[in-house]
Structure 1
Amino acid sequence: MTPANATIAQKIGGWFSKAPEQAVAAEQAALRSDRFRLEREGEWKRLEAVVTQMEAGRMRRVSDEDLLALPALYRTAASSLSIARETSLDAALIAYLETLTQRAWFLVYGPRASLWSWFKRFLGGEWSASVRAMGSDILIALALMVAGTVVGWMLVEANPDWYYSLVSSGFADERVPGASQEVLRGTLFGHQDKDGLTLFAAALFSNNAQVSIMCFALGFAFGLPTMLLLIHNTALLGAMLWLYHGKGLTLDFVGWLSIHGTTELFAILLAGAAGLHIGRAMAFPGNASVLDAAAAAGRRAAQVMTGVVLMLIVAAVLEGFARQLVDDTPARLTVGGFMLVFWIGYFFAFRRGVRV
């Protein structure tokens, strides 16, 4: 036999000699896994049964004894999973324990309330309580919005060229200085079946939604960018008010805007107040640290911003449907006034004793 053949024979012999050892090791691993499962499977099945009943909403079918044992059963399953991973037991057992412990974790440590119950609490007082807690910030934001409107009006009144700086081309179209009363009136009435008004409304909504988000997001910079955004955004409103006022269409423009504007501008007001609330907490943290003060203000402001998103959705619905259906100024003012009274009443008159 040649040396090469001898080497091959030795390797083959080594493989055959190792095969029984590998088979024995695999058999021992399977025995360990089976023994491990048999010792603890009863508790796993009990935990799985409790979790399944609770996930299905059948709490009444779970006995008091099983409810009290739930945390201990979860810890046992988690411990079993740790041991199974460390000792490299079979993959199917590890996957089963991972799924079971994840399901049990949400029941033991997860949120205790459903999304619907949270939503009811949110609308039932938590949102309005958070808004009331930012009363001084709302007044500051309101003053800035009024100031921005006045500044916008005064700038274009002094020099009409300012109009093109304050009002972007997406808003301007036919609404420019020098336009006749007939042209401006035509932008407010009789466009239910045309795309121009819809495109303008969509652009206005998109702008206000972006302003709301930015007012909140930039509040961490001590509220200064939020102030500038509020002034700049309402300067646009002041410029357009000046334009329509010059042609005797002030009330018609206010009615056209009010259908969705009382909701949308209120949302911007609250978003600006939320940003100012965070900025003021960081600038004047009081006895707390800056991070702690910012975290507390951020939680309250985030809750307000959740409601702002809902208000913007309501404004979009009003903008997309009510404005198309209502084509006279008194009716528009009625819808807009009703929404304004509704929001003021909800935030400041509707109280459920919730503290934030």
Structure 2
Amino acid sequence: MKTPILARFGKSTEIETPPDIESAVLRSDRFRLEREADWRRLEDILARMEKGSMRRVTDAELLALPALYRIAVSSLSVARETSLDRATLSYLETLVQRAWYQVYGPRQGLFAWLRGFLFGGWSRAVRGIWLDVCIALFVMVAGTVVGWFLVARDKEWFYALVPTSMSDGRVPGASREQLAETLATHDSSEGLSIFAAALFSNNAGVAILAFALGFAFGIPSLLLLVHNMALLGAMLWLFSSQGLTFEFAAWLSVHGTTELFAILLSGAAGLHVGRSMAFPGERTILQAASESGKRAAVVMIGVIVMMIVAGFLEAFPRQLVDGAEGRMAIGGALLTFWLAYLFLYGAKRRAGEA
């Protein structure tokens, strides 16, 4: 093969191309011609997807995308092994990177994910573990009843169930006036704030552990819920013994309807993982744990949100609002909101899509 070049004095001449270079050029051209149609088709699909024009990508093209990606990867591998021209290598490397992002890369950004999480993703995950929520709720109610009756039968159980850091004068034998004083807003800077901080810290730890211990077939999670709610049952008995049941429930409801709901969901999430591992069905235990873990993780992200809200409620509304009626109104409104959002929001639309 001869290649013309421009001579020094304007005359054209030809030089002989070495056989090895000529062979490499022909091999590269043949390699490109045989596969270029698939590369161009992949590039065209990627260009439309990268512009956000998903409506212009047909179902057939979406189905063909993984196969075209594998063809491009194979072509790049062959090109590297046979040392094809640098232009072809660069083109294929760029094409494969773009295709990988569309096939395996993240489907959406942070804000898009957050929007999907808040507008349906979280509530769907909670509804997906509804059976575990019912079981956890039953266990929590049972734990409260057990704590009540244990202390009612023997007051020594109160000291076994309620940590000293959380009692602070709220002990059997305290007068009605003393107990009512601990619920007053003017005392919030001392005893009330200490009790609130201890209660929040305890409940946050319980929520994390209830989920983390779910891998042991959910049993530790249920036992933890029983123990934590027995503490609440003991406190309810204490205030009820002095006729302050409504006042204590109102004080607790401002943040408790959010905080205890978060504990309920975390226990249900842990139980969901454990129950799927104990009864995997036709799946392997690892497959069952993986599938249930993804759903439970979404629920736990929501639990973190609820704990943040509960912390805000402890710091401000509960300590600024005086009167049992006002506190109960806030707690009732929050409970209604969580129930409607998690169990009713998007349910009809989801059923219609199914």
1:27-83 alpha-carbon deviations (Å, 9 max, x no partner) = xxxxxxxxxxxxxxxxxxxxxxxxxxx99x9xxxxxxxxxxxxx9xx99xx99x99x
Q: How far apart in 2 are the matches of 1:327 and 1:103?
A: 60
Instruction: Determine which of 111, 117, 122 is the counterpart of 1:122.
Output: 117
Instruction: Determine which of 220, 228, 231 is the counterpart of 2:226.
Output: 231
1:107-149 alpha-carbon deviations (Å, 9 max, x no partner) = 7742131111111111111111111111111111011001100
Query: Any residues of structure 2 matched to 1:1-356 within 5 Å, and which?
Result: 109-191=104-186, 194-350=189-345, 351=347, 353-354=349-350
1:242-261 alpha-carbon deviations (Å, 9 max, x no partner) = 00001110000000000000
> Aligned to 2:115, what secondary structure does the other structure show?
helix
- Give the aligned residue type for 2:109: S
Q: How far apart in 1 are the matches of 2:192 and 2:249?
A: 15
Q: How far apart in 1 are the matches of 2:185 and 2:119?
A: 40
> Aligned to 1:247, what secondary structure does the other structure show?
coil
Q: How far apart in 2 are the matches of 1:225 and 1:262?
A: 23
> Aligned to 1:194, what secondary structure does the other structure show?
helix
Percent identity at matched positions? Answer: 59
> Contact between 1:171 and 1:203, CA under 8 Å: does it hold in 2?
yes
Q: How far apart in 1 are the matches of 2:350 and 2:209?
A: 28
Q: How far apart in 1 are the matches of 2:235 and 2:98?
A: 57
Q: How far apart in 2 are the matches of 1:243 and 1:103?
A: 65
CA positional deviation for 1:199: 2.0
Q: How far apart in 2 are the matches of 1:334 and 1:234?
A: 23
> Contact between 1:125 and 1:354, CA under 8 Å: does it hold in 2?
no
Q: How far apart in 1 are the matches of 2:301 and 2:98?
A: 28
Listed as ranges, the gaps of 5+ residues in structure 2 are: 1-48, 53-65, 82-92
> Contact between 2:181 and 2:187, CA under 8 Å: does it hold in 1?
no
Q: How far apart in 2 are the matches of 1:296 and 1:290?
A: 10
- Give the aligned residue type for 1:166: L
- Give the aligned residue type for 1:345: A
> Aligned to 1:202, what secondary structure does the other structure show?
helix
Q: How far apart in 1 are the matches of 2:343 and 2:150?
A: 35
CA positional deviation for 1:236: 0.2
Distance 1:204 1:102, change over 3 A: farther
- Give the aligned residue type for 2:184: F
1:216-267 alpha-carbon deviations (Å, 9 max, x no partner) = 1111101110110000000000000000001110000000000000011111
> Aligned to 2:287, what secondary structure does the other structure show?
helix
> Aligned to 1:209, what secondary structure does the other structure show?
helix
> Aligned to 1:196, what secondary structure does the other structure show?
helix
CA positional deviation for 1:103: 9.8
CA RMSD across the alignment = 4.3
Q: How does the TM-score come out when normalised to structure 2?
A: 0.72
Listed as ranges, the gaps of 5+ residues in structure 1 are: 1-53, 58-70, 87-97
- Give the aligned residue type for 2:138: A
- Give the aligned residue type for 1:346: Y
1:273-319 alpha-carbon deviations (Å, 9 max, x no partner) = 11111111111111212211121111111111111111111111111
Q: How far apart in 1 are the matches of 2:319 and 2:237?
A: 24
- Give the aligned residue type for 2:329: T
Q: How far apart in 1 are the matches of 2:116 and 2:257?
A: 25
> Aligned to 1:191, what secondary structure does the other structure show?
helix
Q: How far apart in 1 are the matches of 2:314 and 2:171?
A: 22
> Contact between 1:191 and 1:197, CA under 8 Å: does it hold in 2?
no
> Contact between 1:125 and 1:353, CA under 8 Å: does it hold in 2?
no
Distance 1:193 1:296, change over 3 A: closer
Number of aligned pairs?
A: 320
